[in-house]
Structure 1
């Protein structure tokens, strides 16, 4: 069962998100919060697998709450759910360690897919956000493909295999099945890969895999 915390300052939005999530028998909403500070406290108390955080909330905005959760409850995967898709929000959310970024205007199926992905150790971006992130990331680099290939040269063959599957959006469990490994070993590989590449999260690692041509 995937345990989820929903944080949004609008009760109607929380009710809508809860309604979507409860259509999945493998998902349970274990706590709700109407502001960022309460969300952090609820996450510490209930230890959900995934926290869905709105960006604009009173007392503590969602981005700051996500950064706080990374310190006090690092096992909780954070998904940002918002009506705002400005690039600065996306960048701060991802560099702050969020596992994904969703727009409230997206397909409800994206929400369920994102929760499952985050709970499984993978990252998820709504299609509109993914396009903007990839364009911005690629545009900020000179000779991105060559530079990416140079960066991943420090990895072992097995680490490159794992990185390629991370780039393909696969969860730790899916990678384990494909490579005939135990999930704990995959988790260790991913942690090592992030450290050796100097990236903060799976989204950045996935983008690097795409640039290096590992994903086909």
Structure 2
């Protein structure tokens, strides 16, 4: 199970005007993703990055049978939801941005869609909703026009394009405004073009 271990940077939460929650990928750490926030055109921002136990949010593919990823997946969802709730004690949800890369991108979309609301923005750098099959009844709430960015390569080895498209459809049915950018033959990484598009969309 995951411990509640949060690395904080930027402006102290009680003084911040915005917050970005950053979810790292498999094998990485909270510290690895925090420098990404420097690329965004946002000021007076609190940064928070939770750390997965053993650097992994869940043990197998995000498209495996759910029981194969439990109890780690439920624990990961609980950690991120707790962080959102604690951040929302100081800032409205529409000032809170949730972002992740790879495994962290999948977790970003999963938590945001299970608890859909008007967030500041949602960013998934190569990710999709979690589960062998996607069932819309698993998700609750309404995004109320929240802007969502999903970027990926067209032949990513970990995240199939079909799952990204399925995820986009579900988020849009739940009231999100989704911008999807698919890059031919792009490696499993975050590109400056994606960062620029996030700046244009959200900041």
What TM-score bracket applies, with the shorter chain setting the length?
A: 0.3 to 0.5
Instruction: Answer 1 or 2: which has greater strand percent.
Output: 2
TM-score norm. by structure 2 comes to: 0.33
Greater relative contact order structure (CA < 8 Å, 6+ sep): 2
Q: Which has the larger radius of gyration?
A: 1
Instruction: Answer 1 or 2: which has greater helix percent.
Output: 1
